[in-house]
Chain A
Amino acid sequence: MKSSLLFDIATLSYLVAMVLYISYLAFRNKGLGLIASLVTYFGFGLQTIALFRRWWESYQMDIGRVPLSNLYESLVFFTWSTVLIYLVVEYKYKTRAFGAFVLPVAFLALAFINVAGISPDITPLVPALKSNWLFYHVLVSFLGYAAFGVAFAISLLYLLEDTKEQGPVLNLLSAMGAIVVLASIGYYLASLGAGMKTAFWLGLGVLVLAWFIYLIVAGAKNKSQVYLFWSFCITLAIVLLLAMGMDFVYLVSFQRLAEGESLKKHLFETTFLNPSMPVVFITWAAVLALFWLVWSQGLRLKNLMKPYLPVQDQLDDVTYRMIAIGWPLLTGGIITGAVWANSAWGTYWSWDPKETWSLITWFIYAIYLHARYVRGWKGTQMAVISAVGFLAVIFTYLGVNLVLSGLHSYGGMN
């Protein structure tokens, strides 16, 4: 059996396991939980075999390399590590409640492979990648990302549990208003030229950061804002995935792309960047509707699952442990990358976007650790930092390659 088929079956198993874990919480049925775990073990086993199988296949093709060297392989490995860490947590803490939140992270990463049209071909390595450091660098970095991914999922669960009431509808309405105003300004400025577009993204970045900092500082007192943040994270994940999925379906399946053209250049062309105004309006209306749906139904979801959810103290503790594992791994990832760069180019640090973003991520988790150790922070604020940290991880991992340019082009989509 070819490795790609095994990977597909594993993906399917994770989807089934995800549904099972959620129904285990929703229907409070222990049997479902057990089956969910078994399906996850099955998927994980298959994926492990597939990883080694792919390694072997590369030797059959006379390319002979570790299956950790392009975007497809790194996404697969990220999922594999996430599920591995999750299974360890499930075993150690004797609870299956996290599954409903961690498995979606794993499944979304695999789904991203398909919707973004990432090629699963085993491609030969360019000379710069031919180094033993490749293996250590990718291995350590992605184990770290996976630990942060698990921390993120558990933090979101914490924030959901933390919310006692939604807060006034005005909160939601003002957030929607902000999205509408900012989006309009964005489209207007982008039409004026590239310089204005950069200025807009910088401005938007500052606003979002200001919001994050406000949540971290005042989040414990203003929990309805934190709930809004929770809804925002969930909506963002769904919207990005759906939008990319639509690009893929329209551009690839209907073959609208010229020969050899990469999907990257046409990102969001079927939705946010469509030339037709009505389509753009419908897209934004759909985003707002989804935001409203998540916001209004989130608490109902929580109340449904409540009896099976672990206590908040435990969630806080597991999040900390995941970050205490992830941060040294991320450190190791940055260091192996630096040593490798020095042996290839004679510079261990060149401030290229990928390096810089990994450092930004490192700073965010460093802040988390200092806040906990020195200032003794716990709870809501820490969960917010952990969630923001993972958004930075995602940007370091995917955003830099999709949006910015630099040395790490090997991880890119074309």
Chain B
Amino acid sequence: MREVALENKQGIVELIADKVWKFFSSVKLAVVLLIILAIVSIIGTVIQQNEAPERYLQEYSQATVNLFEMIGLFDMYHTWWFVLLLFLLTANLTVCTLDRFPHTWKIISAPLKPIEDEALKALPFKKEITVTGGMDKAEARAAKTLATHRYRFAESRGAGTVQLITQKGLYSRFGVYVTHVSILLIFTGALIGVFFGFKAFLNLPEGTAQKVVYLRNEPLWDKILSSLGVIESRVQWSPEAGVPYLPLDFAVQCDDFDVDYYVNAAGMPTGMPSEYHSTLSVLDLNGQKILEKRIRVNDPLTFHGITFYQSSYGTMPDVRGKAVLKIRKKNAAGQGETVVIELGKSVHVPSIDRTIKVLGFAPYGMRNPETGKVVLYRTDNDEYINPAVQLEISKGNKPVYKTEILKRDPGAPPLPEDYSISLERYGGTRYTGLQVSKDPGVWVVYTGFVLLCIGPLIAFFGSHKKLWVRIQEHKGRTVILVAGSVNKNRLGFEREFNRIVDEIAK
């Protein structure tokens, strides 16, 4: 496609450059690269990626583990050779695009010329018809037919001959370029993300704030510059955390964390979370609140380009929990009294003149509807499905009675005395697991996505069609020649072409 004359005086550098250019502009290379990428990608789906070393030793022998480790099969998609393949594909796409575009541009910008007998031979679609009624009528009919098929045409007149020349769908020749550029944009955006963004996580206990996040992927640009001594890296390392961390220029606080569960027909939680959410506050470094948002899965919080995603939750080990109880006297106005009692401790409640002690706690309590007895369960990961506390109520130092209070308890019997106790929440010991990420390249990637949706549609469903209608007087009869060409969808064009010929012949 590219016109490069290999002249004798061409130097060795140009020769090599030309060879390299030819190599990268071939579609064969693209197909070969796609095949290789497809095949090696399979390996990474068969061998689990980024597992703990012990897991691998369970499955493979030590020698195999060593070998796989050397080739990088446990983190295959980030090895130098896989990245190199992606870069080759990118280079191939770029060169292909640059190589072919001038040719396409020439086709697009070329003005339509009247058809000559010589050029006619090469056209795939042509038909000659003889009609009666003279040239003017034939021309009018041809003009009308082209107009109804939405072709805008130019006229060219010679001695005893008229030509209507037209084309449609020029834009479709851009489709392939839109598609290829979109893929280049996605690659570029991904690179921007790797160099200037980071991935991190943060386990934030309820009620606490943090000014750092723990890194999974450091910003590469930072790493390169700091290793060259240009800047000092912001990334720090603490021995107790065991992972590198990045200080933020603000603090994130988890005000509240909560899980909702699906309930069964009896109104009891099933243990299957329907939603979990954290109320996060962003504080400046003086502790002033800047903003607050309740995040949930699929609805993150973004501040200063850093996004916090709700990803998991759990219970902090070795921290005693606190029960938040609401006590309300019967027939009394107002909200009642709220007290916070730590597990194992007791608190005096003035409004009812009783002392309440929290004897025990279970993450899942259930009341048997028949016997009325409360059964307490442990849960996986200590998940708080329906928290329950065991309370001892005393007057002065004398115990009055013991009872179990469940967070959700539709069949609860009334207490022996004239007030009610409800468990608002059992808290202070849970943490919310946040994924943290900064990706300045994501908008470049998204632009690529949009173009990648549009490009193929233009390329596949548009076609560049050309039509010539030549009307000539020949020995007292009017001879009409219709000829056409198309770069795609020949069957569809053939049908349209035949219809046009029929309509002109009518």
Contact = CB atoms under 8 A, between A and B. Distances in A.
A299 interface: no
Interface string B427-469: 0000000011101001001100100110011001100000000
A339 interface: yes
Nearest to A400: B45
Interface in A98-142: 124-128, 130-131
A328 B453 contact: yes
Given A198-B46, A344-B297, A348-B445, A126 B272 contact: yes
A245 B401 CA distance: 60
A363 B442 CA distance: 23
A37 B272 CA distance: 45
Interface stretch (B36-44, B136-144, B367-375): B36-44
Given A130-B275, A328-B456, A370 B30 contact: yes
B44 A351 contact: yes
B119 interface: no
B41 A356 contact: yes
Nearest to B270: A124
A262 interface: no
Given A335-B453, A360-B41, A347 B437 contact: yes
A378 to B, nearest CB: 11
Contacts of A363: 34-35, 37-38
Interface stretch (B11-19, B59-67, B218-226, B339-347): B59-67
A404 B45 contact: yes
B381 to A, nearest CB: 15
A93 to B, nearest CB: 11
Interface string A364-388: 1011001101110000000000000
Between A195, A205, A371, the greatest number of chain B beta carbons within 10 A of the residue's beta carbon is seen for A195
Given A201-B46, A339-B449, A130 B41 contact: no
A342 interface: yes
Interface residues of B, number: 55
A346 interface: yes
Contacts of A375: 27
Contacts of A346: 199, 300, 307, 309, 435-437, 439
Given A324-B460, A328-B456, A346-B307, A367 B31 contact: yes
Given A327-B456, A351-B77, A127 B273 contact: yes
A283 interface: no
Nearest to A371: B31
A194 interface: yes
A356 B46 CA distance: 11
Contact of A127 (B43, B46, B275, B461): B275
B450 to A, nearest CB: 9
Contact of A343 (B30, B274, B300): B300
A366 B456 CA distance: 11
Nearest to A330: B456
Contacts of A356: 41-42, 44-45, 77
Interface in A172-228: 193-195, 198, 201-202, 205-206, 209, 213
A124 B491 contact: no
A195 B309 contact: no
Given A328-B453, A342-B442, A363-B34, A404 B46 contact: yes
B276 interface: yes
Contacts of B446: 339
Contacts of A373: 176
A375 B27 CA distance: 8
A324 B461 contact: yes
A198 B56 CA distance: 12
A349 B190 CA distance: 9
B331 interface: no
A359 interface: yes
Nearest to B30: A370
A345 interface: yes
A194 B60 CA distance: 7
A312 interface: no
Contacts of A335: 449, 452-453
Contacts of A127: 273-276, 296-298
A149 B190 CA distance: 32
A127 B436 CA distance: 18
Contact of B274 (A124, A209, A357): A124
B59 A194 contact: yes
A95 interface: no
Contact of B311 (A193, A194, A345): A345
B115 to A, nearest CB: 25
B42 A360 contact: yes
A347 B60 contact: no
B373 to A, nearest CB: 25
Interface residues of A, number: 54
A414 interface: no
A343 B298 contact: yes
Contacts of B435: 345-346
B59 A195 contact: yes
B49 interface: yes
A205 B38 CA distance: 12
Contacts of A366: 34
A292 to B, nearest CB: 30
Nearest to A216: B35
A351 B40 CA distance: 12
Contacts of B460: 324-325, 327-328
Given A195-B59, A345-B311, A130 B297 contact: yes
Interface string B257-298: 000001000000000111110000000000000000000111
A3 B58 CA distance: 46
Contacts of B351: none
Nearest to B60: A195
B488 to A, nearest CB: 8
Contacts of A364: 38
Contacts of B453: 328, 331-332, 335
B107 interface: no
A366 B274 CA distance: 39
A340 to B, nearest CB: 8
Interface string A55-68: 00000000000000
B83 interface: no
Contacts of A405: 48
Contacts of B42: 205, 356, 360
A404 B46 CA distance: 7
A345 B309 contact: yes
B243 interface: no
B35 A198 contact: no
Nearest to A314: B491
A91 B457 CA distance: 23
A284 B64 CA distance: 31
Contact of A351 (B34, B38, B39, B49): B49
Contact of A124 (B34, B61, B272): B272
> 8 shortest A-B CB distances, which residue pairs?
A346-B437, A195-B60, A353-B45, A127-B297, A324-B460, A131-B298, A351-B77, A328-B456
Given A340-B298, A347-B199, 14 more contacts: A131-B298, A198-B47, A202-B43, A324-B461, A327-B456, A327-B460, A335-B452, A343-B300, A348-B442, A356-B45, A367-B35, A370-B31, A374-B27, A404-B46
25 contacts: A124-B274, A127-B276, A127-B298, A128-B298, A202-B43, A328-B453, A328-B457, A328-B460, A331-B452, A331-B456, A335-B449, A340-B298, A344-B297, A346-B309, A346-B435, A348-B442, A351-B44, A356-B44, A356-B45, A363-B35, A366-B34, A370-B31, A370-B34, A374-B27, A400-B45
